[in-house]
Amino acid sequence: MKFDHNNCCLITKNHEGIMVVFTKKQLDLKAKQRPELREEGILHRIEETIKNPTFIYEDYENRKQRVAYYCYEYKIDGRDRYMKVMLSIHLDYLFVITAYRPDYIKERGKTNLLYGTHND
């Protein structure tokens, strides 16, 4: 599939210079169940997470073909909140599956930390 700005809402590069795409079709598919994807400025936050992740974990379900990028945002009510971007790994690009803003690291202690530090 050819990715361009006609079919993608975001085309960028990750911290290693690998192309990352978020298609318009994928955004539409996920936005009903992920209200964060309807927030103003969300694409900028997703891009920042892809370019400057705080840490990256292997995905819990598909460890070899998916990764979870996290970007620390702020602490509120005693909990850290993150931007999380789930990506699938392809031959020469990464594909954004979905993105949301959890206050918990589901993969912590379950899968390998691939990049960055996560000490709390």
Partner 1 sequence: MTKEKLINAVKDIPLVAEKDKWVFTLDSEEGSLFYAPSTISSNSQLHQVTDEYAVYLNDQLVPQGVVVEYYKANFLTHHKIFEEISNKLFKSFNDEIVVVDPKPSNEEATIFQALFEKNLIKEAGRNMVSA
**Can you give the binding site for partner 1, defined by CB under 8 A?**
29-30, 32-36, 38-39, 60-62, 77-79, 86, 97-98, 100-104, 106
**Cβ 12 to partner 1, closest distance in Å?**
21
Nearer to partner 1 (CB atom), residue 15 or residue 110: 110
CB of 30 or CB of 94, closer to partner 1 = 30
For the residues of 48-82, what is the DSSP string, one character each? Answer: HHHHS-SEEEE-SS-TTTEEEEEEEEEEETTEEEE
Nearer to partner 1, 17 or 78 (CB): 78
CB of 91 to partner 1, least distance (A): 19
Q: How far is residue 108's CA from residue 104's CA, in Å, rounded to a whole number?
A: 9
Question: Which position has the token pair 């992740």?
Answer: 53
> How far does Cα 97 stand from its chain's mean position?
8
Structure tokens at 99: 């993105």
Q: Shortest Cβ distance from residue 86 to partner 1 (Å)? A: 7
Kindly tell me which of 13 and 63 has the beta carbon lying closer to partner 1.
63
Task: Work out the angle at residue 15's Cα, subtended by the Cα atoms of residues 53 and 63, and round it to the nearest 5 degrees.
Answer: 65
Question: Smallest distance, Å, CB 22 to partner 1?
Answer: 14
